[in-house]
Amino acid sequence: MNNSGSAMKHHKKPIISPLRYPGGKAALYPRLRAIVRANDLTSGTYVEPYAGGAGAALGLLVTGQVRRIVINDLDPAIYAFWKAITTESLEIAQMIKSVDLTVLEWSHQKDIYLNGPREDYLSLGFATFFLNRTNRSGVLNGGPIGGMDQSGKYKIDARFNRETLVERLRLIALHASRISVLNTDGMTVIKRYSKRDNTLIYADPPYFEKAGSLYLNSFTDSHHSALASCLNKVSDAKWLLTYDNVPRVAELYSDRRREVFSLNYSAHRVTKANEIMVFSDSLTVV
């Protein structure tokens, strides 16, 4: 597929996700694309059990590297967002075009995000999106860019380019019939999809350190161990996993191949972070 426009400007790392995600993995796109090809999975399904901004998944789908993607997130707000934009993209586009970018509107959207009915995924999904685009670093529980008094250098609309965002939405809507959106525990998704052929699972669970304030972090050490035993049991499936590079990862995945790598971050004003990738035995790693 050869789309033009700003969403596809960076050939190596297409920016398609409408969400800003602290620690987002869109930058892994070239590596994942190489792995998909080396494992002959271009007609297959790519699964993110801890999807968040799903930047890598969308990149792979829209550029035709995989046939289907599965996006799962346990956070009801993140789920509502993905559900809304894959099923009600025209409404969301209209809302993006017309919403006021003011602190008053921010308070209204924050109220929907915190207190609105969880099953109204259009309102909740849009509120999630609105806060993600207007909050500092995209952190959902944070404050608006520029502060409540808008005295900061950058204002609330600094990351809300309506045109670019609608364009990303349109691109996703075009491929929506090949996107499955789920709202369950990541391990349930891993168990289900590890039994299927022609499937690649990329797990990016909440990190051991620093994850706390950035997004829903239901993970304690026992969750990390449970995830390790779940993944280690299905090492004949094709999966990879990324984490912060803490010694516990090498312990939990001592029998698997591992590789340290770096990503650029903005949320903590750290430019490089040491991360680790773990691979299932049956995956061809390139």
Ligand X SMILES: C[S@@+](CC[C@H](N)C(=O)[O-])C[C@H]1O[C@@H](n2cnc3c(N)ncnc32)[C@H](O)[C@@H]1O
Contacts of 108-117 with C-beta under 8 Å, sequence gap 24+, read 109/134, 113/77, 113/140
Phi and psi at residue 84, to the nearest 5°: -65, -45
**For residue 48, what are the β-bridge partners?**
71
Convert residues 88-117 into a mask of x (bound to ligand X by CB under 6 A) and - (unbound).
Answer: ------------------------------
DSSP line for 178-216: GEEEE-S-HHHHHHHHTTSSSEEEEE-PPPSSS-TTTS-
**Does residue 14 interact with ligand X by CB under 6 A?**
no
**Does residue 185 interact with ligand X by CB under 6 A?**
yes
Name the one residue in this structure whose structure tokens are 């050939």: 11
CB 162 within 8 A of CB 96: yes
What is the C-alpha separation between 9 and 4, in angstroms, rounded? 7
Which tokens is 187 given?
């391990």
Report the relative pairing of strands 239-244 and 68-72 from DSSP bridges.
unpaired
**Does residue 25 interact with ligand X by CB under 6 A?**
yes
CB 25 within 8 A of CB 55: yes
Instruction: Count the site residues for ligand X by CB under 6 A.
Output: 24
Report the relative pairing of strands 239-244 and 257-263 from DSSP bridges.
unpaired
* The one among 46, 75, 194, 239 contacting ligand X by CB under 6 A: 75
Minimum Å gap between C-beta 153 and ligand X is 26
Site for ligand X in 119-148 (CB under 6 A): none
Site for ligand X in 44-73 (CB under 6 A): 49-50, 52-53, 55-56, 72-73
* The one among 14, 18, 24, 59 contacting ligand X by CB under 6 A: 24
Name the one residue in this structure whose structure tokens are 């909740």: 124
CB 54 within 8 A of CB 203: no
**Does residue 275 interact with ligand X by CB under 6 A?**
no
Convert residues 213-252 into a mask of x (bound to ligand X by CB under 6 A) and - (unbound).
Answer: --xx-xx---------------------------------
* The one among 7, 8, 21, 140 contacting ligand X by CB under 6 A: 21
Minimum Å gap between C-beta 19 and ligand X is 7
Report the residue number, 126 or 219, with the smaller CB distance to ligand X: 219
Report the residue number, 103 or 165, with the smaller CB distance to ligand X: 165
| Stretch touching ligand X by CB under 6 A, among 117-125, 172-180, 202-210, 268-276 | 202-210
Binding site for ligand X (CB under 6 A): 21, 23-25, 49-50, 52-53, 55-56, 72-75, 78, 185-186, 204-206, 215-216, 218-219
